[in-house]
Amino acid sequence: MHQRATIAKQEKQIMGLNLNKLDRRRFLRGSGFALALPLFGSLLPQNLLADPAVNNPKRLGCFYFPDGVPMPLPEDPSYQEWAWFPHGGGTEFTFTNCMTPLESLKGDLTVFSGFSHPQSRSVHGHNNADQFLTGAYIGGGDKEYKNTISLDQEYVKYVGDKTRVASLVMSTDGGTGTARGTHTISFDRNGRPIPAEHRPKQIFDMLFVKKNNDSARRLALSDSALDEMLADAQSLRKTLSKEDQHSLDEYLDSVRQAELKVDKAKQWLSVPLPTVDREQLNLELTTEHPREYLQTMFELIYLAYKTDTTRVATYQIGRENGVGRSDHLARAIGFNLAHQLSHETKNPNGWKNFGLYCQFLNEEFGRFVGKLKENPEPAGTGCMLDNTLLLMGSASSAFHLSRNYPIILAGGKQMGLKHGQYINNAGMNFQGGPWLGKREPWQDQAKGSDLPLSNLYVTMLQRLGVSAESFADSTGVIEGI
Amino acid sequence: MILLCASIHAASAAEVDPAAEAELPSLEQLKQTGLTRSRFHSTANGPKALPADGKPPEADLKTFQDKIKPLLTQYCYDCHGADAMEGNFQVSSLDPDILKGKDTEWWAEVFSVVTKGEMPPPDDMDMDEADRRVVVDWLSRELEAASIVRRQSGSHSAFRRLTRYEYNYALQDLLGLPWDFAKDLPPEPHSEEGFENSSDLLHVSVSQFETYHRLAREALDKATVSGPRPEPIYWGISMKQAAEREFKQQDQQVAKAKKEHKDNPEKLAEELAKLEKNAKQTFRTPYYQQLSTGRTAQAEWAYYGARYAFAPIKTKAEFPEDYDHVAILPGGQRRNIVVELGNQIPDEGTMRVTVRASRVGKEDKNFPSLQLLFGWQASNEGRALQRVSEADVPITATPDAPQIVQWEFPLSEIYPRNSVRKTSPMGHTPSPSEYIRIANSAASASDIQIDYVCVEAPVYEQWPPKSHQQIFFESENSGDETAYAREIITRFMTRAWRRPPSPAEVDRKLKLFAVMRPQCERFEDAVLEVLATVLSSPQFLYVAQASPHEAAPIDEANAQQNARLATRLALFLWCSLPDDELIEVASSGKLTDPDILSAQVDRMLADPRSERFSEHFVNQWLNLELLGFVSFKGLDPLLKEAMQHEPVALFEEVMANDASILDFLHADYAVVNERLARHYGLKNVYGNEFRRVDLETNVPRGGLLTQSGVLAMNSDFPDSHPLKRAIWLLECILADPPPPPPPAVPQIDLANPEIAKMTLRERMEDHRSQAACKSCHVKIDPWGLAFENFDALGKWRDDIRGKPVDASSELFNGETLEGMEGLKRFLLDNRQDQFVEATVRKLATFGLGRPLGFEDRAEIDTITAQIRQQGDGLRTVVQTIVHSDLFLSE
């Protein structure tokens, strides 16, 4: 306890000391935007600067798309070209047309099959976006609803106070959605949904434009309250026996740590905002222009990362079960509604059409991954991608089936990730086929046995530097990635 | 005492009766005869180990040399003497000075095994009962004296923070709002004995501290209001309106038939007759009925388009005088009707739902009951539903004189609400509409009819509400912000900190108020910020202890000691803070007066808040959390809920009558509701409320051991699990937990086909036959096998998959237990002291909020002796604990 408090204190001094002395601005040019940003990394003492890798941030981005993916059976003529999962396994695998936009990034990513969250495997796919990052039992119908903390927020606990904005939570549909029909994949430590923002302008303002003074006022109130509570507890302490003083010290330590957190938050108020040229961005875009909208959303995350405004972002590209703005994204490639594509796979070209939509999503995701790869880490070593862990996936595969999630993990090589692999846990033993109007794949007896997806999540947390032994219902870590 | 003698007399009279001699004594008789063998029965009035002159007690080494050592030599040294070390243990090398020597814990172990009859090993050696008594008496006296010596040099501290549930109740009582304030706090760990309030386990982290502060601020926000009183909105919904929607569809079908078959009168008559017949049928799902014509229609509902929503009205609805249309809710399946109310339901405030209802038939006894639920469905997948009524409301009225049922619940506490209710328009998908559901919760097929539903929200009995006025009360000072703030803060601190705050403490809070006031727009906000620090203070969150440095005047020290006693008492019996009366008695310094203390305990046990004590103590004592995890086919929600409540209901019954705690081992009555009665095969019990039912002698129930919840949670569905049941009995009931399995113990090898095809009983026998396992399992398994007549749901069974049940087992001492009856017989005959002492320990551990140590042993013995002499009444146990030095001293 004591040691932790001391370290935090040192950090505080470093920040307090150097803020006014150093030139905190450093201009970057890239992708047409002029950026001016305060970098806490550069405020560290010189001996730490000797190894620039020390300053490498560790970022996390999580992306969700609904409706599952094309899962034609091997005997289906479309299997070779339009199945979502690659063919092969290990380091020997080939992409289908769904994934061709990621071909050039093959060495920077890993594809997974045969992973899912055990508790919701028999839940209908429409309900399951809620638990993609949490692993909770969501259930269907009229049951009581409970959720738990999401992967990104678990990481925010660890890294949230290192940046001005603890985390960026976005979705195409916006808000929280409803229970079991979520519009956000981020849930706080009490399992409550964190509202997602869908309007580019609001996201931009939140990241790069000064806000009102309410947060300053709240912090000032907390500060005075904590001072008084500390004094109050210390006066109680004097009256206690040695043994009881020892018990109360835990409380005192907690108050002190809370004070440090408030101090840290207050310092952010005085750090100048990064200057980002917004002229190049069309912040009024909506899903009426689906491709441009998607590009802008990814661009905003890129800017937030690059300015180190946040290190954690989630983006739910679409809600489950259609019905909403996100369903219009399919118009980017000439279809009407995205959700419908997943229902019509038995039609001529059904798999292909659905696959083209997935290809489009991977194209935009790939553009974003590629950009992080092209750009060097502003205050560290390597490219931004090497310091960023990106998870892209869905909580269903075959029609409404909550198993064998399609999962891509990209980036993070400087956190020790080994890529260029296909961890094919499902093998050829997967459920699929078109929906023929009757029984659906999710109602069938499960084939094969999935691994808990939380095993991947706890592995990710460890690579991000969190000393987590487990996450949700994880049973271990994933070796070899 | 008089009662006790009378019953012993009766028991011994029965022994003389030749007719009774032929039969075994009944279990009720054994309760009496077993008591005569209590060690507390004879020694409790003996001299106290602590000499009256206050000098520290001395070890009685003379008795050891003269009497005890020869007996130990005779009975023990063969195996545990200088030449032998069975179990790695030598009695001969123990230091006979139990008071000051180093072997006190070992002697306690010797005492335990000799008292229980486990040593000397019954199959090798018979110990003369008189000899056993001599050894037990000496050990008992010496250990008690040792415990007193140990206690004088300090004991476990009970300084601890409130548990999650205590924090919740404390806020509820303080603010006068019965809501869940603690759901964001992490769950508490359980101590080895299963308690959540154990001082050594209750920690605090920074995130927990921040949560306390946030929860305090939110709770205060919920308790207070600003601005003018919100206008309520109303609904008045007759089942006529609802029925007519369905009738209209029927009419359309008739019109359609008439049109289709207008040229074919025969066919038309046939079709119309069919439609008419359909419109008269009854259903097993909810339906509407017009009483005068007998016309019926099934109640339909679908979320999309909000087509079933009723619009609110401007004025308060009244029940009409007459009615001809009803909705009928069939019983037995929790059938419900949806009353959809649209997107206008307020965010907070109380929602009041009033329903006029009656039974459908007039049959006696069989009373169904109603529940209320709140929910919504926005889309195919987005939906939620939760029960908002507490106790089920029995419907006793007949149709000619229906009854009014009213529920109130806080809208702010419903989670999750329909999050699109303000953004998506009515009629669109996702639907913004919300609904209530009215459900018939009867366990049997007993129907309910309702004719009218009134809804009102938000309901405020007064404005500002009482919870607001308790904080911001009317005062002469309200014109002077600082004076008023001082008054508010002082009064709030007194209640939250269970004592009047010192002037210095108030001054500090006022200083904080002065700092905060300019940063807050409203006076009230600044005050609430300060009050939130009062609630996040260790003075609120922790249970205070005596101060070793306190140098206050006697009067003040006495008042402070009284205040701390009041807090301990309230935490014990209410799981919460003292109320005003208790604080007042304490501040007058009179709470330590035995008569006043007794009266307060009686008052507190009579208060509904004592239900929390029953619930939390019984759940932790019996580890009922296990039942929460149980879910399998055949365990319907009604049965599971009833199973969860049954142990608490029995506890409350025993408490209310100050009945003997031996009733927990066996009673000739059970406390059940209809669903459980059916499970147990008991007739003529109707309704969801629990009540006492006398048991015929041939019914194998009564007491805790045969409760289906306890049996089910210690099973491995579809099989029973004798081992789990045995360990539960030893841990929870007898406080004699078996040692954990040694590290290298062989596992039961289910991959071995020979073992895989064995029954569970055979597997246990096989496992027991291995030397490494035997020494422990021989002391565990027999207890659990005695439960074998009860299946995984706790139902009685005579055979298992065609083979007759073998519930007999042989105890370590060679005695045979014949099933549950035999187990109860053995416990009542031989283990009364162990059970009573175990129960005293459990209650005391819970009451003190700290683990008990060796130093508490003498006190526990004294308490046990006192209550054994007074007939083991549960209320007597609680009173005796509260009056003991253990509880009174700090």
- In the 8-state DSSP scheme, what is residue A309? S
Residue contact A144–B386, C-beta within 8 A: yes
Chain A's closest residue to B542, CA to CA, is: A248
Give the tens place of pLDDT for each residue, B294-323. Answer: 999 999 999 999 999 999 999 999 999 999
The three-class DSSP label of residue B810 is strand
Contacts of A171 in chain B (CB under 8 A): none
Please give the structure tokens belonging to residue B748: 């039961």
pLDDT at B48: 45
Of A181, A224, A247, which is closest to B159 when you measure between CB atoms?
A247
Indicate whether B534 pLDDT > 90.
yes
Beta-sheet strands, E only, within B624-707: 669-672, 691-694
Confidence of residue B772 (pLDDT cuts 50, 70, 90): low
Q: Tokens 């805790």, residue?
A: B704
Contacts of A254 in chain B (CB under 8 A): 204-206, 208-209
pLDDT at B154: 65
* Percent residues over pLDDT 70 in chain B: 92
How far is it, in rounded angstroms, from Cα B789 to Cα B800? Answer: 9
Give the tens place of pLDDT for each residue, A337-381. Answer: 999 999 999 999 999 999 999 999 999 999 999 999 999 999 899
Q: Does A321 touch chain B (CB under 8 A)?
A: yes
pLDDT at B364: 62
Q: Rounded to the nearest 10 degrees, how much is the dihedral formed by the CA atoms of B499, B504, B510, B512?
A: -100
Q: Rounded to the nearest 10 degrees, how much is the dihedral formed by the CA atoms of B129, B132, B138, B141?
A: -80
- In the 8-state DSSP scheme, what is residue B66? I
Indicate whether B602 pLDDT > 90.
yes
- Between CA A299 and CA A306, with CA A302 as vertex, the angle to 5 degrees is 140
Give the tens place of pLDDT for each residue, A429-472. Answer: 899 988 887 777 777 777 778 999 999 999 999 999 999 999 99
Name the nearest CA neighbour of A458 among A61, A189, A154.
A154
Residue contact B516–A124, C-beta within 8 A: no
pLDDT at B798: 94
Chain B's closest residue to A238, CA to CA, is: B549
pLDDT at B504: 93
Indicate whether B425 pLDDT > 50.
yes
| DSSP of B575-625 | SS---HHHHHHHHTT-TTSHHHHHHHHHHHHHSTTHHHHHHHHHHHHTTTH
Which residue(s) pair with B873 in the sheet? B660
Indicate whether B598 pLDDT > 50.
yes
Average pLDDT of chain A to the nearest whole number = 87
Beta-sheet strands, E only, within B757-856: 799-800, 803-804, 808-810, 816-818
Q: Does B153 touch chain A (CB under 8 A)?
A: no
Please give the structure tokens belonging to residue B193: 């004995």
Of B416, B516, B537, which is closest to A224 when you measure between CB atoms?
B516
Contacts of B547 in chain A (CB under 8 A): 239-241
Name, of A45-54, B9-18, B504-513, B756-765, the range with top average pLDDT: B504-513
CA distance A332 to chain B (A): 24
Q: Does A218 touch chain B (CB under 8 A)?
A: no
Burial class (CB in 10 A: 0-12, 13-18, 19+), A333: middle
Mean per-residue pLDDT for B411-431? 92
Name the nearest CA neighbour of A163 among A313, A315, A386.
A313
Contacts of B301 in chain A (CB under 8 A): none
CA distance B688 to chain A (A): 22
Average pLDDT of chain B to the nearest whole number = 89
Indicate whether A274 pLDDT > 80.
yes
Name the nearest CA neighbour of B132 among B51, B189, B76.
B76
Q: Does A3 touch chain B (CB under 8 A)?
A: no
CA distance B512 to chain A (A): 7
Q: Does B514 touch chain A (CB under 8 A)?
A: no
Mean per-residue pLDDT for B232-247? 96
How far is it, in rounded angstroms, from Cα A186 to Cα A62? Answer: 9
Given a contact cutoff of 8 angstroms between Cβ atoms, the answer to whether A208 and A353 are in contact is no
Indicate whether B592 pLDDT > 70.
yes
Q: Which of residues 272-301 of A touch B (CB under 8 A)?
A: none
Contacts of B511 in chain A (CB under 8 A): 228
Confidence of residue B43 (pLDDT cuts 50, 70, 90): low
Q: Does B631 touch chain A (CB under 8 A)?
A: no
Name the nearest CA neighbour of B137 among B227, B42, B14, B27.
B42
Indicate whether B491 pLDDT > 80.
yes
Chain B's closest residue to A217, CA to CA, is: B519
Residues comprising chain B, all counted: 890
How far is it, in rounded angstroms, from Cα B541 to Cα B564? Answer: 13
**First-last CA distance in chain B:** 31
Confidence of residue B22 (pLDDT cuts 50, 70, 90): low
Given a contact cutoff of 8 angstroms between Cβ atoms, the answer to whether A97 and A81 are in contact is yes
Given a contact cutoff of 8 angstroms between Cβ atoms, the answer to whether A358 and A84 are in contact is yes
Confidence of residue B454 (pLDDT cuts 50, 70, 90): very high
Indicate whether A84 pLDDT > 60.
yes
Alpha-carbon distances of B197 from A458, B161, B495, B620, B880, rounded to whole Å = 32, 9, 22, 10, 21
Indicate whether B526 pLDDT > 60.
yes
Which residue(s) pair with A36 in the sheet? A27, A275
pLDDT at A408: 98
Residue contact A232–B516, C-beta within 8 A: no
Name the nearest CA neighbour of B210 among A246, A191, A251.
A251
CA distance A396 to chain B (A): 15
How far is it, in rounded angstroms, from Cα A326 to Cα B80? Answer: 79
Contacts of A177 in chain B (CB under 8 A): 382, 419-420
* Percent residues over pLDDT 70 in chain A: 89
Contacts of B515 in chain A (CB under 8 A): 224
Q: Does B121 touch chain A (CB under 8 A)?
A: no
Name the nearest CA neighbour of B197 among B718, B700, B850, B786.
B850
Contacts of A234 (CB under 8 A, 6+ apart): A252
How far is it, in rounded angstroms, from Cα A228 to Cα A222? Answer: 10
Mean per-residue pLDDT for A113-132? 93
Beta-sheet strands, E only, within B378-447: 383-387, 393-394, 403-410, 434-440
pLDDT at B12: 41
Indicate whether A212 pLDDT > 70.
no
Of B159, B381, B505, which is closest to A126 when you measure between CB atoms?
B381
* Percent residues over pLDDT 90 in chain B: 64
pLDDT at A17: 34
CA distance A453 to chain B (A): 23
Of B207, B209, B545, which is closest to A241 when you measure between CB atoms?
B545
CA distance B654 to chain A (A): 34
Mean per-residue pLDDT for B165-185? 95
Contacts across the A-B interface (CB distance below 8 Å): 146
Indicate whether B844 pLDDT > 90.
yes
Of A180, A189, A225, which is closest to B381 when you measure between CB atoms?
A180
pLDDT at B758: 79
Which has more pLDDT, B160 or B559?
A: B160
Q: Does B177 touch chain A (CB under 8 A)?
A: no
Indicate whether B549 pLDDT > 90.
no
How far is it, in rounded angstroms, from Cα A168 to Cα A206? Answer: 9
CA distance A417 to chain B (A): 31
pLDDT at B550: 52
Give the tens place of pLDDT for each residue, A311-336. Answer: 999 999 999 988 788 999 999 999 99
